[in-house]
């Protein structure tokens, strides 16, 4: 897994740095209740949402294409 550091008491992935202005519009289509549940679980488990999302994207891109 990628190198992490503590940010606001939660692990924060240092694997990638934002290039340019962050674009949050990619996440704007996520249903509100799903995002709230995701945020609450990440907070309970003391993990940064960014780290979870990066890990999911990395795992998905490593799988063979269908």
What are the tens digits of pLDDT across the range 10-66? 666 667 666 666 655 677 788 999 999 999 999 999 999 999 999 999 999 999 988
DSSP category for residue 21: S
| Number of domains the chain is built from | 1
DSSP category for residue 63: S
Q: How far is Cα 16 from Cα 37, in angstroms, rounded to an integer?
A: 25
- DSSP E strands in the chain: the ranges are 4-7, 10-13
Give the chain's end-to-end CA distance (angstroms, integer). Answer: 25
**51 found inside a domain:** yes
**9 found inside a domain:** yes
- Rounded to 5 degrees, what angle do the CA atoms 9, 36, 48 make? 25
**39 found inside a domain:** yes
**41 found inside a domain:** yes
CB 10 within 8 A of CB 46: yes
**22 found inside a domain:** no
**Residue 45, domain extent:** 4-14+27-62
Residue 4 has pLDDT above 90, yes or no: no
């Amino acid at each position: 897994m990628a190198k992490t550091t503590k940010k606001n008491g939660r692990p924060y992935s240092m694997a990638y740095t934002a290039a340019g202005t962050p674009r949050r519009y990619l996440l704007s289509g996520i249903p509100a209740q799903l995002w709230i549940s995701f945020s609450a679980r990440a907070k309970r488990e003391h993990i940064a949402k960014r780290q979870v999302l990066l890990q999911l994207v990395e795992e998905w891109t490593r799988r063979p294409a269908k």
